[in-house]
Amino acid sequence: MASKSTAAPYVEVQGLVKWFGSDRAVDDVSFTVPKGNFVTLLGPSGCGKTTTLMSIAGLHSIDAGHIRVGGMVYTAPKNGVFMPPEKRDIGMVFQSYAIWPHMTVTQNVAYPLEMRNVPRAEIETRVADVLRLVGLSEVAAKLATQLSGGQQQRAALARAIVPRPRLLLFDEPLSNLDLKLREQMRVELKRIQNEVGITSIYVTHDQSKALVMSDEIIVMSKGRIQQKGDPHEIYSRPANAYVSNFIGVANLLKGRVIAVGEAGRGEIEIAQNGRQAQLPCRLADGIGKGDEAVLSVRPENVQVRHDNGSGRCVEGEVLQAIFLGNCVDCRVRWGDFEWKVLTHPRVHLNKGDKVYLHLDPDHTLAVQP
C-alpha cells in the first residue's frame, strides 16, 4: 500500500512535551496526519500514547510544542493559546463504551446532534444513515444495556461520527472485545472510517491491529517516537532494534558494519561464541562504516538448505523443526544464538542436521542498536 503521508498536513503535532511531576510522559513528539488518513500511535504500556491523544483533545495542557488541526491552532503554550475541548470538534471512542444505558441506541446516537440543535428531520436521517453504516439498524430501538459488547462499541462509534467531527480519536477501543469480535471489528472500523473519510488517530499496543488498519504507524517508546512509516515500511525496514523487535518477530544479533556500498547497501560482521560471518545487507539511515549495528532478519526471509550454494551463508545445526502445513517453524543453533526460521515445507529437516542459512541481502538489515 502506498503511503499517503506526502499529502498536506491536516493535523500537526510539533515538539509536544508533557510532564507529570518529574516524569516526562511525552518527550518532543512531532508528527502530521494528512486529511482523511488513519494513523496509529503504537507502543507498549506507559509510552505516552493516551497522553498524546488527551493533549490533542484538550483534556491535558502541554508544557511545550503546539497542536494544530485544519489550520487552527488548538494548543500553543508559548503563545498562550488553549482552545477548550468542547470547541475542538473532536469525536472520541474509548475502551469503555460510555454510552448511556437508559437510552435506546437511536437516542444515544441522536444526542450529539440534539446538543447542536440540528433540526429533528435531519437528525432522523443522519442517525438512520450512521446506524446503517455501523450495522445497527436492526437494534436501533433497543436499550444500550441490551446490546452485546461489539454492538455497544459500534454504538459508541456511531455516536462519535454522527456529528461529522473534524477529527476522530480512538484509545484502545477494541480491547474489551473477545478475539474473534476484535478481528472482525478492526476490519469493520477501518471500512467505516474509509467511508466517512474522517481523519483519525488510533492508539494501541497491539501491533497486528496497527498493521491491518493504518495508513501510517507511529511507533513510540518512553515518550519518544522511534519510527514513522506505512505498515509495510515499518515491518520490512525497521529503523532500529526496538522497532524490529516490537513489530513481528526478528533475529537480532549485535554486529559491526565493515563495508558501505552504493544505495544503502553494505556488509555487516557478526560473531557468536567463536563463530563469525560477514553478510551483505541493507543499512538503515545514519549507519556508516565501522559503526556498531544490529543485524535484523525476519524468520520468513531465511532459507534453510543442506548445501552452502555459492552465496555467503551461515552454517548451523537444526535444534527443532515443526511442520505447520504451509511452512516449517525451525530453530537453528549458531554459536550461542538460536535462529528462528520459517521455511518452505518442501525442505525436509531433522533435529541435528547440519544446515546452511541463506540470507537474502535485500531482507538482511543492519539497523541502529
Ligand X SMILES: Nc1ncnc2c1ncn2[C@@H]1O[C@H](COP(=O)(O)OP(=O)(O)OP(=O)(O)O)[C@@H](O)[C@H]1O
Q: Which parts of this chain interact with Mg ion (CB under 5 A)?
A: 50
d(CA 350, CA 338): 16
Q: How far is C-alpha 297 from the chain's CA centre?
A: 20
Smallest gap from residue 45 Cβ to ligand X (A): 3
User: Whole-angstrom Cα distance, residue 97 to residue 156?
Assistant: 6
Distance CA 306, CA 347 (A): 9
Stretch that binds ligand X, among 41-49, 63-71, 127-135, 289-297 (CB under 6 A): 41-49
CB of 224 to ligand X, least distance (A): 12
Q: Shortest distance, CB of residue 67 to ligand X, whole angstroms? A: 15
**Nearer to ligand X among residue 186 and residue 205 (C-beta):** 205
- The nearest distance, CB 169 to ligand X, in angstroms, is 12
51 interacts with, out of ligand X, Mg ion, none, CB within 5 to 8 A per kind: ligand X
Residue 227: name its binding partner from Mg ion, ligand X, none (Cβ under 5 to 8 Å by kind): none
Torsion angle of C-alpha atoms 239, 241, 246, 247, degrees rounded to 10: 50
**Which of ligand X, Mg ion, none does 20 bind, CB closer than 5 to 8 A by kind?**
ligand X
In the complex, minimum distance from the CB of residue 59 to ligand X, in angstroms, rounded to a whole number: 10
Judged by CB under 6 A, which of 25, 133, 160, 167 binds ligand X?
Answer: 25
Among 5, 37, 51, 153, binds ligand X (CB under 6 A): 51
Of these partners, ligand X, Mg ion, none, which one is at the site of residue 48 (CB under 5 to 8 Å by kind)? Answer: ligand X
Asked if 323 interacts with ligand X (CB under 6 A), we say no
**Residue 25 contact among Mg ion, ligand X, none, beta carbon within 5 to 8 Å by kind:** ligand X
Compute the 3-state secondary structure of the chain and give helix, strand, coil in percent, each to the nearest 5.
Answer: 30, 40, 35
**Considering CB distances under 5 to 8 angstroms, the limit depending on partner class, which of Mg ion, ligand X, none binds residue 45?**
ligand X
Q: What residue 79 binds from Mg ion, ligand X, none (CB within 5 to 8 A, per partner kind)?
A: none
Quick check: 367 binds ligand X (CB under 6 A)? Answer: no
- Single-letter residue type at 285: D
- The DSSP annotation for 55-70 comes to HHHTSS--SEEEEEET
Task: Find, among 363, 366, 332, the residue nearest to 347 by Cα.
Answer: 332
Report residue 12: phi and psi, to 5°.
-130, 115
Q: What is each CA distance from 310 to 1, 269, 305, 313, 358, in whole angstroms?
A: 34, 19, 12, 9, 10
Rounded CA separation 158/167 (Å): 14
* Closer of 92 and 253 to Mg ion (Cβ): 92
Nearer to ligand X, 45 or 117 (CB): 45
Cβ burial, residue 157 (10 Å; 0-12/13-18/19+):
buried
Nearer CB in complex with Mg ion: 50/193: 50
- Residue with smaller CB distance to Mg ion, 50 or 343: 50
- Considering only residues 190 through 229, tell me which ones interact with ligand X, judged by CB under 6 A: 205
Among 4, 7, 46, 331, binds ligand X (CB under 6 A): 46
Number of helices (H) and strands (E) in the chain: give both, helices first. Answer: 8, 21
Tell me if 48 contacts ligand X by CB under 6 A.
yes
What's the CA gap between 142 and 309, in Å, rounded? 67
Residue among 5, 40, 9, 43 at smallest CA distance from 26: 43
User: Which residues make up the interface to ligand X (CB under 6 A)?
Assistant: 20, 23, 25, 43, 45-51, 205
